Structure 1
Amino acid sequence: MLGLEYFSFSDLFSPIFLAFMLLVTAAYFVVIGPLSEKFADSEPVPFGKKLSFVCGMVILYLAQGGPINLLGHTMFTFHMATMALSYLVAPPLLMMGLPTWLWRAILAVNPFKKFSFFARPVVAAVIFNGLFSFYHFPAVHDYVMLHFTVHRLYYVLLFVTAVLMWWTLINPLPGKNKTSGLAKTGYIFLNMVLLTPACGLIIFAIKPLYATYSDPNVWAQAMGYCVTGDPSKLLEAFGGPTFFNIMSTKVDQQVGGIVMKFIQEIIFASMLARVFYRWYKDENKEENDVVPAELGEGSLNQV
C-alpha cells in the first residue's frame, strides 16, 4: 500500500526510535507511580491523564518514526500530516498527560525558568509559526531534508516552540493561568492567521516547489537518512518519488497544504470550543458565588 511493501520492517518502524519512545513512556509511569512519593504534593494520576500521555507518545512516534514518517519522504501530503501530528496534536496531549505536581517539579529546574519570556502568548505564537513557515521556504526545506543533524535539531526546536505556543491554552498550573477566555480566543485566531501565508504559498503555487519531491536525485539523498541501504539503489529500483505518488507532484503539494490547514482548523476549533466551555463555567460559577452572598446579607438585615 502506497509502496510500503517495498521497505523493510526497520525502515517502516525505526526500532531505535521506538525503543526510545517506549523508554520515555516507561519512565513516565515509573515517575507517576513508585517515584511519585519523592515529589511534593504528589497525588494519584487520573486514568484520563495517563491515556492522554500515551496517545501523545503514540502519535509522535507514528509521525516521526513510524510508517507515516517514511511516507512523508515519498509524498508531500504525508509530510504535512507528519508536521500537523507532531506539533499540533501530540504536544497538547503530552502536556495534558503530565500531572500538576510533576509540572511544578519540571519548571522548578533553573534552565526552564529562562523560557518564561518565550512562553508569552504573542512571542510564542510568532516564534513557532515563524519557524514553521520559514522551514517551508523551498530552499530551507530542501537544505534541512538533506542534512541529517540540521534536520533533527530543527525538528526538536519546532517541538519545543510548539510546547511554548500551546502553553497559553493548556497551562496546567492552577492559579498561574491568568489569560482570560477572550484573550485565549484572540490567541487561537492569531495562530490560525499566522500559519495561513505558508499554507497559501504551498496551495496556490503554480509549480512544484520542493526538489525533495520532484528531483529524483535529491529525493534519493533525502531518503538515505530514513531507510537502510544505498540511496542509489532506490533510483535504480523506483526512478524517483513519482513511483510512490498517487497524484502529480503539483497536486500532491497542494493537497499537502490543504491537509495542514484543515488539521489546524480542526484542532484550534476544538480548542476554541474548550475555551468557550470553560469560560462559560467560570462565569456561571462567579454568578452562583455572588447570589448566595447577597441572599445571606438580606437575611441578616431582616433579622
Structure 2
Amino acid sequence: LADPLPVLLWGLPRNFRLSVRHLLARGAPVRHLLHVATWMPVAWGVYVFNLWMWHLPVAYEAALRNHFLHDLEHVAFFGTALLFWWPIVNPAPRLHGQIAYGFRILYIIAAAFPNAALGFVIAVTDRVLYPSYASAPRPWELSPLDDQALGGGIMSEGAMMFLIPLLVLVARWLNDEERMTHLREAIALSGRKAAR
C-alpha cells in the first residue's frame, strides 16, 4: 500500500509507462524537482505552510465561496501530504535512501506541534475567525464562537494522528536493533568457536 507506483505503472499502457519512466529517470528534471520537494526540511515547511495558509480567514472564506479555490485547497492538502510522508514511507522512486529512524521520528514530532498549535489557536481565539460560519445553521445550541472552539479542539486533537506512524517507527527501530544484537551475538559466538 505504501509503495504503489511500481504496481500502478505496470497497469498502464506501455507507451504511457515508458513516458513516466523517462520523467522519473535519474537526471530527469521532474525527478530532480521531486527530490528537492521531498527533502525533509522542504517537505515539512511546505506541509506546515500549506496547512496554516489555508486556515487564514481570507483563504478559508475564499475557498468556501469559489469552487475552483476549494478544489485547489484539497489538491494542495493532498499534494503537500504526499510530499510530507514521502521521506517517512520512502516509496519508489527512492530519492533519498533510507533515512535513519531517529530523524524520521523527530520529523513526525516536529510536524505534530504546528498541527496542534493551529487547532489551539482556532479554539482559544475570542472572535469568530470565519464569517461564513457565524451565520451557518447549527443543529445544536452552540454559539458560533463555541462551535469554532469545538472545531479547533477537534483539530488540535487530530494531531494525535501522528502518534500511530510514530509508534510504528519506534517499534521497527527496536525490532531492527534487537535483530542486529542477535546477529552480532551470533557472529561473536561463531568467531569464538572458530578460534578453538
TM over 0.5: yes
Counterpart code for 1:121: M
Shift of 1:294: 1.7
Give the 5 Å matches for 1:215-254. Answer: 215=135, 241-254=136-149
Residue in structure 1 matched with residue 151 of structure 2 by the alignment: 256
| Equivalent position to 2:23, from 88, 104, 110 | 110
Residue in structure 2 matched with residue 274 of structure 1 by the alignment: 168
Of residues 195-204 and 267-276 in structure 1, the stretch that sits farther from structure 2 once superposed is 195-204
> Does the 8 A contact of 2:118 with 2:156 survive in 1?
no
Shift of 1:201: 2.0
Task: Assess, with a 3 A threshold, how the Cα gap between structure 1 residues 202 and 209 changes in structure 2: closer, same or farther.
Answer: same
Shift of 1:200: 2.4
Counterpart code for 2:146: V
Residue in structure 1 matched with residue 101 of structure 2 by the alignment: 181
> What is the CA–CA distance in structure 2 between the aligned matches of 1:155 and 1:285, rounded to whole Å?
42
Task: Assess, with a 3 A threshold, how the Cα gap between structure 1 residues 139 and 168 changes in structure 2: closer, same or farther.
Answer: same
> What is the CA–CA distance in structure 1 between the aligned matches of 2:36 and 2:65, rounded to whole Å?
33
Deviations 1:23-43 (A, max 9, x none): xxxxxxxxxxxxxxxxxxxxx
> What is the CA–CA distance in structure 2 between the aligned matches of 1:197 and 1:264, rounded to whole Å?
9
Counterpart code for 2:40: P
> What is the CA–CA distance in structure 2 between the aligned matches of 1:285 and 1:172, rounded to whole Å?
23
> Does the 8 A contact of 1:202 with 1:253 survive in 2?
yes
Consecutive unaligned residues in structure 1, runs of 5 or more: 1-48, 50-95, 216-240
Task: Assess, with a 3 A threshold, how the Cα gap between structure 1 residues 243 and 188 changes in structure 2: closer, same or farther.
Answer: closer
Residue in structure 2 matched with residue 137 of structure 1 by the alignment: 56
Counterpart code for 2:120: G
CA RMSD, Structure 1 to Structure 2 (Å): 2.5
Instruction: Give yes or no for the alignment of 1:126 onto 2:45.
Output: yes
Equivalent residue pairs, number = 181
> Does the 8 A contact of 1:126 with 1:194 survive in 2?
no
What SS does the corresponding residue of 2:149 show, helix, strand or coil?
helix
Deviations 1:244-301 (A, max 9, x none): 4542111111111111121221x11111110110000111111122222222222222
Give TM-score scaled by structure 1 length.
0.54
Instruction: Give yes or no for the alignment of 1:298 onto 2:192.
Output: yes
Give TM-score scaled by structure 2 length.
0.81
What SS does the corresponding residue of 1:273 show, helix, strand or coil?
helix
Consecutive unaligned residues in structure 2, runs of 5 or more: 11-16, 25-29
What SS does the corresponding residue of 1:242 show, helix, strand or coil?
coil
Instruction: Give yes or no for the alignment of 1:286 onto 2:191.
Output: no
What SS does the corresponding residue of 2:125 show, helix, strand or coil?
coil
Shift of 1:131: 0.8
